[in-house]
Structure 1
Amino acid sequence: MQDMSDTSSTFEKTSQSPLAWGADIQLAVVFLTRIPWRLNGDVPPQALNRALRAFPLVGLIVGGGSATVFGLAHFANLPDLACALLAILSAVLLTGALHEDGLADVADGFGGGQDKARKLEIMRDSRLGAYGGLALVFSLGLRTSALIGFEDWTLGAAALVGTACLSRVAPALLIYMMKPARSDGLAATMEKPAGVIICQSLGLGVALFLLCTPGMAGWITLSVCALCLLIWKAIAQKQIGGQTGDVCGASQQIIEISALLTLASLT
């Protein structure tokens, strides 16, 4: 396993060329969604480290698709609940329930394991347990109820885009701030991302979010999300001593839920 504190690599993680950004966006789309975009040539082992900066841009695709479905459902005069459920469903289909799967695995592991080894073992089990099932119910329910709570559906549509971008910064931040909880797996093989990559990811995510949210409500929501991420980091550190792919996936769900609920209460 490579040292997580070593950000040096033969792969130029900090390259700012248009080609590098294009490659990062492509890899991020392939990694985070079910969109059939075929990668060209060999992908360097640490390519995902640099592609973290493009994660918020994938939020534009997922959130944009979800917002479009939300708007079309409203134009079709469907009930508010149906509109919200269809919007969430579209995002789940676009991502292949990638983040929902991480949330369910973490809930099962943290809820059912007695020690770190057992928690990690449960998290690798593909079977869905009671804690995971409840986590999915609450995730879908809270996001749906938040969308229904917007007085104007156009604000809800904008919130879908903004929160999709912002929430995809969370995994990048956890990878940067925490050590891997396992000695194997994707998280363990990745190097610690370069600081400039994390700054670019955070800058893009925050900028896109604020473009989609009205005034002070956006800044308040950012503060709430930052607090929620720090709390989640502390929980993961206490439970398993670090981050895993599932922990990072769950963080996206936690931030998206927190952001949608906060915005719904403020707008």
Structure 2
Amino acid sequence: MDGFWRASAFLTRLPVRAQAFQGGPHPLGADAAAFPLVGVAVALPSAVLLVLLGAAGLQPFTASLIALLLLVALTGALHEDGLADTADGLFGHASAERALEIMKDSRIGTYGALALIGSVLLRVVLLTELAARSPALAALSLIAAAGASRGAMAWLWSRLPSARPDGLSGRMEAPSRETGRKAAGLALALLLVAGALTGALAKEWETGFAAVVLPALLGAGGLDAFRRLLLRRLGGTTGDTLGAAQQIVDIALLLGFALAL
């Protein structure tokens, strides 16, 4: 639980237990196995809000947008910031050295702005698709995607070298491969639970099976494609690219849930 609180302090704006930081230092990478649980915790308020707004009579699009904006606020837009910086660095046909310089620049460029707009729109639209069928299913998908995508982020961090040793991912000491496997295993467990609950809510075991297989395949495919891109363009990962990985997998998982339902 101390690892959960320490990871939560970095990944979210939620209040944490100060006692968890005693007896340090505590490298963030050592706590990466708790990333999926942090994702579940930070998504819970948004999931509850999504259900309540639907019950209050708001349209699915409006409820989904408000719920997503709450989630972004609770994370301090940490992963969205990484996505924007990564898009600016990788999609400008710059060398690896220049791409890393661009990613350190706090100013947002055209690619970054488009990536942010696309990420928010895709997630809102996919949540709307789910909420139109059932707010409860949309809330469940939101929680599962938030947790599993952070597990995928931890796994990626454990598998790639740091492209910038003096950057965030280098300074924080990457998780061991064992820690990365634990995070990935917990992410898969979340998808299995979400699939079982989805099947129960939909009263169709085929839907529950699809709600596990499709998100898992799309999420793993998106993560592997992004991993290959990072190796080819940068030779490793950075703090920004880890945030981008979370966003990519989150969208892929929500797409999988929407297709399954």
TM-score when normalising by structure 2? 0.89
Per-residue CA shift, 1:55-113, capped at 9, x if unaligned? 00011112211111101110110111111101110110110000000000001111235
Return 36-45 or 160-169, whichever deviates more. Answer: 36-45
- What does residue 225 of structure 1 align with? 219
Return 190-199 or 66-75, whichever deviates more. Answer: 190-199
Measure the CA separation in 2 of the matches of 1:112 and 1:92.
26
- Structure with greater helix percent: 2
- Equivalent positions of 1:130-209 (< 5 A) are 130-150=110-130, 151-209=133-191
Q: Percent of pairs identical after alignment?
A: 40
Amino acid at match of 2:179: I
Amino acid at match of 2:209: M
Contact 2:30 2:174 in 1 (8 A): no
**Residue 192 of structure 1, CA deviation:** 4.2
- 4+ residue runs of structure 1 moved beyond 6 angstroms? none
Return 190-199 or 137-146, whichever deviates more. Answer: 190-199
Match of 2:7 among 8, 28, 35: 28
Q: State the secondary structure of the residue aligned to 1:169.
A: helix
- What does residue 252 of structure 1 align with? 246
Contact 1:113 1:122 in 2 (8 A): no
- Equivalent positions of 1:16-165 (< 5 A) are 22-37=1-16, 39-40=18-19, 41-42=21-22, 44-112=24-92, 114-150=94-130, 151-165=133-147
**Residue 231 of structure 1, CA deviation:** 0.2
Amino acid at match of 2:160: M
Contact 2:157 2:180 in 1 (8 A): no
**Residue 45 of structure 1, CA deviation:** 4.1
Return 150-159 or 228-237, whichever deviates more. Answer: 150-159
Contact 1:46 1:190 in 2 (8 A): no
**Residue 193 of structure 1, CA deviation:** 2.3
**Residue 51 of structure 1, CA deviation:** 0.7
Return 254-263 or 199-208, whichever deviates more. Answer: 199-208
- What does residue 203 of structure 2 align with? none
Measure the CA separation in 2 of the matches of 1:111 and 1:186.
21
Structure 1: state its 5+ residue gaps. Answer: 1-21
Contact 1:28 1:54 in 2 (8 A): yes
**Residue 236 of structure 1, CA deviation:** 1.2
Measure the CA separation in 1 of the matches of 2:235 and 2:18.
34
Structure 2: state its 5+ residue gaps. Answer: 199-207
Per-residue CA shift, 1:191-228, capped at 9, x if unaligned? 44233322221222211222122322212211221111
**Residue 189 of structure 1, CA deviation:** 2.5
Aligned residues: 246
**Residue 36 of structure 1, CA deviation:** 2.9
Per-residue CA shift, 1:149-170, capped at 9, x if unaligned? 1222211111001101100012
Contact 1:170 1:252 in 2 (8 A): yes
Q: State the secondary structure of the residue aligned to 2:237.
A: coil
Contact 1:171 1:249 in 2 (8 A): yes
Amino acid at match of 1:72: L
Measure the CA separation in 2 of the matches of 1:191 and 1:93.
27
